Amino acid sequence: MRYLITGGAGFIGSHLAESLLEGGDHVSVIDDLSTGSMRNIEHLKDRRGFRYSIDSIFNKPLLSELVDDSDCVIHLAAAVGVKLIVESPVRTITLNVEGTSLVLDAAVKKRKKVLLASTSEVYGKSESFPFRESGDLVIGPSNKGRWSYACSKLLDEFLAIAYHKEKGLPVVIVRLFNTVGPRQTGQYGMVIPNFIKQALHGQPITVYGSGHQTRCFVHVRDVVGALVALSREPKAVGQVFNLGSGQEISILELARLVKRIAKSQSSIRRIPYNEAYEEGFEDMPRRVPDVSKARKLVGFKATVRLADIIADIIEHQRRCDGL
């Protein structure tokens, strides 16, 4: 198949491109490098069937050309990371909503399948655990910038489903839960890369809030396998799927686990949310997915234990930092 990956020089996109090429598919990548990096795809540049464009999805003529030349678009281009979202809400909303609209509009002209990457953030403050795709979504107030990302991605979902129902566009939506692995940067607030970098350099490991909030982390390799399978499964069209792990851990325990695996002497320091982000910042106390729907359709399973995920990222970070 011929794939177009928007945001393909990012963390998930680069792993996805790598996997598709290994399977014999042709891959085109478009990325403006605002949060992605050429380092992520440098090793793919000479691979047969790979091409890349350093440009924005807002370049409509180029986007149309790339979409026309593909069989399936995997739309990953989006604002990422809590830090970036809080600091740049206008960019977050514009990139997510207008960017997705452009991708869907280009795809519908030639009936190209679109797999839209959404997020667990859309569940907002729901307390119905584990989160199911059919469950209600509870978003916080509009004057809290924290929720702009969730709302923009939720609007992306509504828009994709509307294109499917009204215009017959084949779309698949996946809600990603804390996907982690090598190449992920902590620059925009991603917790595990931040903890690992701090631990390896002997800096205090900074836990925001109480540290009792829990998350479930899944290795990018497992997510990529599911993205490929769902992009090829006709029964997935028009549906929403959670992708994540059921192994829940508090952020404080995560910090201790990173410290132990890294054999670090770093202290663990708690920082109130209003110091880390903004006054009145709200967070979700738990984020736990029900992945039975994806498991039933394409056999999705989180296969990598959290300790092994952390060890994998530590090894990668040590190589990058020359440690």
- The closest alpha carbon to 302, from 135, 179, 119, belongs to 179
Catalytic residue list contains 123: no
Measure the CA–CA gap between 184 and 170, rounded to whole angstroms.
30
* Contact predicate 178/4, CB 8 Å: no
Measured in whole angstroms, how far is the alpha carbon of residue 153 from the centre of its chain? Answer: 11
- The closest alpha carbon to 28, from 57, 94, 111, belongs to 57
> What is the 8-class DSSP label of residue 138?
B
55 backbone dihedrals φ, ψ, rounded to 5°? -165, 175
Measure the CA–CA gap between 33 and 56, rounded to whole angstroms.
9
* Contact predicate 54/6, CB 8 Å: no
Measure the CA–CA gap between 20 and 261, rounded to whole angstroms.
32
Which of these is catalytic: 52, 123, 149, 277? 149
- The closest alpha carbon to 212, from 176, 160, 249, belongs to 249
Give the other-Cβ count within 10 Å of 306's Cβ: 22
Which H or E run includes 52?
Answer: strand 50-54
Which residues have C-beta within 8 Å of that of residue 207, sequence separation ≥ 6?
A: 251, 252, 255, 268, 269, 270, 271
Strands 248-250 and 214-216: antiparallel
Strands (E), 120-274: 171-176, 179-180, 205-208, 214-216, 218-219, 240-243, 248-250, 268-271
Supply the residues annotated as catalytic. Answer: 149
